[in-house]
Amino acid sequence: MPTKIILASCLALWISLSATLAQDEFMTRALRLMSETPLIDGHNDLPWQFRKKFNNEITNVDLYTLENTHTNIPKIREGRLGAQFWSAYVPCETQYKDAVRQTLEQIDVVHRMCQKYPEVFKFATSSQEILDAFKQNKTASLIGVEGGHSLDSSLATLRLMYQLGVRYLTITHSCNTPWADNWLVDTGSEPSEHDGLSPFGKQLIVEMNRLGMLIDLSHVTVKVMNQVLDMSKAPVIYSHSSAYAVCQSKRNVPDDVLRRVNETKGIVMINFYNDYVTCSPNAKLSDVADHFDHIKKVAGADIIGFGGDYDGVTRVPEGLEDVSKVPSLVAELLRRGWTDEEVKAALGNNLLRVMREVERVRDSLKNEKPDDLPIPYEEVENPCRTSYGYSTSTASVQSLSAPALLLTLALQAGATLRA
C-alpha cells in the first residue's frame, strides 16, 4: 500500500512538472516573439484615468508607482508593450458642449506623458516611427480619438487633430452623432437617426482617407460598418472589438463582416472586457483566446490584433488583470497551435501593414484638396452653437450638394468595385 501511494505521488508530481515545463516552453517562445515583433495594442484609456483621478495634473503623478490602474510603467515593461494607441476619450455628455476642448486636453496629456517619461515613451505617428521606438526599447505612443462627437461635426477639427498626432478616429462612441449611428441602435435601445451614415458622415470618411487617418469601426452599427467597408479606399480597424459569434454583444463583429475585413485587408483588435468576451461579468484568459481562435478560423490570422481596453473597463478576465499579463495570452495562443508567424502577425505585423496601406492611400491622394463643405446648419443647430458663416445662399448650396455628393460616392464605389 505505501508503495502504491508513493508511485501515485510520483506520477502526480511528474504530470505537474511536465505541465509546468510545457508552459515555460510556451512562455519562453512568447517572450522571444515579443522581442522580435512589437506588441501593438489598439486601445488603452489611461489618459481618461488621468482625467478622472487627477484632472490631468500629471506633474504630481508617478507612473512608476501609480496603483489602482491597469497600466503603469512596471506593468508596461513586464507586458512587453511595444506600441500603444492611447485613447483621447471624452464622454458623450460633452456632445454639443465642450467636447472639442476636453478632447484637446486629452491629446495634450498624452504628449505631456511622453515628455515626462522620455526613457519609456516615444511619441509616434507612423508605421516607421513605431519600429524606430521598438529598436530603442521604448513604447511607441500613438493617439486615437474615441468618438466622433469629439469633432463637433467639423472637418477642420478633424484635420487639426491629425496635425496634433491623432492617427485614428472611432466614428462613434455610445451615442449617435449628427452624422453617424452608434452600436446601441442595433440593440434597439436607441433609434437610428441616419440609417448608418449621413451625407456628411460619408464626406468624413473620404476626408479621413485623404488625411491618412485610420477609420475605427468599434462602437458603430453593422450598417455603418458595411457602408464604410464599401466606400473606404484604405483598410479599416476595430481598435477594441471581439467576435459576435463567441459573445453576442452588438459591440462585437459578426462573421460576415469579419470576412469583409479580410477581403479589404483590415484588422480587428480583440477586446478584453468581460462583457464582450463572455457576455457575462466573469471571464478567463482562455475565453479571450477563444475569440482569437474564432476570428482566425472565420477570416484568418491576418486580420487579428490586440485591443485590450485596459483602464477603460471595470472587469477584465482572470489571468489578464492588467497590461503586464499579455505575454500569458501570447503563450496560450502558442499552446493552442498558433505558428510563430501567426502570432507575430497578431502582435503587430498586421497593424503595421494596415498603417502602411493607409499611408500609401494618403500619399496617392496628396493632390486632392481638403474638403471645406460644412455640415448643413439645420443638422447641428442647438442652443450652444452659433451660425456664423452660414447664410441662406450657403444653405441652398448645401442642399444641392448633398445629392451631388451621394452621386459622387456611388460612382466612386462603382469604380472601386470594377477595379
| DSSP code per residue over 236-273 | -EESS--BTTTS--TTSB-HHHHHHHHHTT-EEEE---
DSSP 310: B
Q: What is the mean pLDDT of the segment spanning 167-183?
A: 98
Per-residue model confidence (pLDDT) at position 9: 53
pLDDT at res. 298: 98
User: Residues 402-410: what's their mean pLDDT?
Assistant: 50
With cut-offs at 50, 70 and 90, classify the pLDDT of residue 12: low
Q: Measure the CA–CA gap between 299 and 257, rounded to whole angstroms.
A: 9
When pLDDT is cut at 50, 70 and 90, the band that residue 193 belongs to is very high
Confidence class of residue 23 from pLDDT cuts 50, 70 and 90? low
User: Tell me, what's the pLDDT at 282?
Assistant: 98
The band of 391, judged by pLDDT with boundaries at 50, 70 and 90, is confident
* pLDDT of the residue at 362: 98
Q: Is the pLDDT confidence value at 14 over 90?
A: no
Q: What is the pLDDT of residue 20?
A: 52
Nearest to 126 by CA among 137, 115, 141, 139: 141
* Active site members: 43, 45, 146, 173, 219, 240, 309
The pLDDT value recorded for residue 31 is: 98
Q: Which residue has the cell 442642399?
A: 399
Q: Is 254 exposed, middle or buried (0-12, 13-18, 19+ CB in 10 A)?
A: middle
What was the pLDDT predicted at 2? 60
pLDDT band at 224 (very low <50, low <70, confident <90, very high): very high
Q: Looking at the whole model, is its pTM more than 0.85? A: yes
CATH of segment(s) 18-391: 3.20.20.140
**318-329 exposure pattern, b = at least 16 Cβ within 10 A, e = fewer:** ebbebbbbbbbb
